[in-house]
Amino acid sequence: MSTTTSASRRAFLAATAASAAHVWIPRPVKGYTTAEILAPVKPMATGISKWDLDTPALCVDLDKLEQNIARMQRSLVANKLGSRPHAKTHKCAAIARLQMAAGALGICAAKLSEAEALAAEGLDRICLTTGNLSASKIRRAMQLRKRTPQFIQAVDYEPNAHDLNAAAKEAGIVADVVIDIAVGTRSGIPAGADALALAKLVDRLPNLKLRGVLSYDGGAQHITGFATRKERALTNIADNARTVEAMKRDGLNTEIFSGGGTGTYSIQHLVPGFTDVQVGSYVFMDMQYLAIGGEDGNPVYSDFASSLTVLGTIVNNRFPGRLTTDAGAKAFTLNVPRPGVIGEPGMDYNPGSDEFGTITFKQASRSYKMGDRLEMTVPHCDPVVNLYDYIYGIRQDRVEVVWPITARGHSQ
């Protein structure tokens, strides 16, 4: 190397030293796997008081959760029905395992990606209650069925049955299928001749195996007042039950006639031919369900305990009759009714700001300092759970376990 070149190189280095930030100096770096990059931040350890958790924190009271699962199972067994709990509510493999251990026939999933995530955690008896229409999802569903032989796919549309059959053939399987028969107008094929024709088609297609029928009545679940709810639920599903009877007469398989939810679980056994209930919210309960009223005439629906809460921290206490917390729409969603502050019936909690909750009150049970925690009941459990990576399992105010929300954000 010539002196001139070396001098100009030194000058260059000196000139750039001042702006060293612009000089990229390669250093050894740790190689992260995709799983590590995508893994959510690890939550705090177990054993601590729930009041020491960083917030907003999603919590489930384990005693109440266990009681809810046991109570549902006892009631369904007494009514000679099975349970196929809907995992759309909790999206959590650990809770699904508790439901299976209590005697569930299987679990339901609302979306293919939810089913895939739960299956990857070893849950094998999954019924996907929603049809898939895109070629890619149909193929994925049949691949899932190949990996998970007890997977069941819903179908409510004749061309879709043909597409499923083709995808099952391509995957080298005979796929289990249930016909989704509408109760109301949300989804599903209308009861009667259309549904019967679809059932016959599925029965004929060589790579599909007809297992029965789904009929979930979303409209009846939250009807206020037990007597009205019962009357409406039984009226709404009558045509579906007649269709199932017609299927039976025609020699079609009706081993599954599944539907119902937390609001009608104790009514469904009155539907002829009904086999199992797809209850979801009963594990947690929420403000919406608490308001529908019980069979005993109590305005609060108390068959199951409210086990799901969000903890928030007070970040502003400086204005009379007002508090601000760190838990807003991104902690609760904007569903109604508003979150309920536990122990403070006089407080109105408005989660309207993205990151802040605004509380107004005339009277509180005590005064609150900056940094104090409050615990809230959630408006509607399913969409709230979907906002969190982890749920803290609490027993007697201590964190006993931290469960990942396995299918959080899996909405495809």
Residue ranges that bind ligand PLP, judged by CB under 6 A? 86, 88-89, 108, 129, 216, 218, 221, 261-263, 278-282
Nearest to 215 by CA among 154, 280, 282, 151: 154
The length of the chain, given as a count of residues:
412
Nearest approach, Cβ of residue 58 and ligand PLP (Å):
17
Which one-letter amino acid corresponds to residue 29?
Answer: V
For helices 158-171 and 135-147, give the axis angle rounded to 10 degrees: 50
* Identity of the residue, 50 or 86, whose beta carbon is nearer to ligand PLP in the bound complex: 86
Query: Residue 51, SS3?
Result: helix
To ligand PLP, the closest distance from the beta carbon of 231 in angstroms equals: 18
Measured from the CB of residue 85, what is the shortest distance to ligand PLP in angstroms?
Answer: 8
C-beta of 279 vs 314, nearer to ligand PLP: 279
Rank residues 273 and 355 by Cβ distance to ligand PLP and give the closer one.
273
Nearest distance in Å: CB 82, ligand PLP: 14
Q: Which is nearer to ligand PLP, 108 or 290 (CB)?
A: 108
Q: Which is nearer to ligand PLP, 108 or 142 (CB)?
A: 108
Minimum distance from residue 367 beta carbon to ligand PLP (Å):
38
Query: Least distance to ligand PLP from the beta carbon of 130, Å?
Result: 7
Q: Do residues 208 and 202 touch, judged by C-beta distance below 8 A?
A: yes
CB of 92 to ligand PLP, least distance (A): 14
Angle between helical axes of 158-171 and 193-204 (0-180°, round to 10): 20
In the complex with ligand PLP, which residue's Cβ is closer, 76 or 347?
Answer: 76
Which residue's CB comes closest to ligand PLP? 261
Of 391, 408, 387, 389, the C-alpha closest to 399 is 391
Separation between Cα atoms, residue 311 and residue 370, nearest integer Å: 15
What is the phi/psi pair of residue 242, to 5°?
Answer: -65, -35
Smallest gap from residue 74 Cβ to ligand PLP (A): 17
Q: What are phi and psi of 34, to 5 degrees?
A: -60, -40
Nearest to ligand PLP of 383, 409 (CB atom)? 383
In the bound state with ligand PLP, the residue whose beta carbon lies nearer, of 221 and 309, is 221
Token pair of 24 as six digits: 């990229």
Structure tokens at 329: 């729409």
Q: Which is nearer to ligand PLP, 140 or 380 (CB)?
A: 380
Dihedral (CA of 7, 11, 16, 17) sign = positive
From CA 350, how far away is CA 373, in angstroms rounded?
A: 16
CA 311 to chain centroid: 20
CA angle 318, 319, 325 (to 5 degrees): 70
CB 183, min distance to ligand PLP, A: 10
Answer for the pair 56, 280: CB distance below 8 angstroms, yes or no. Answer: no
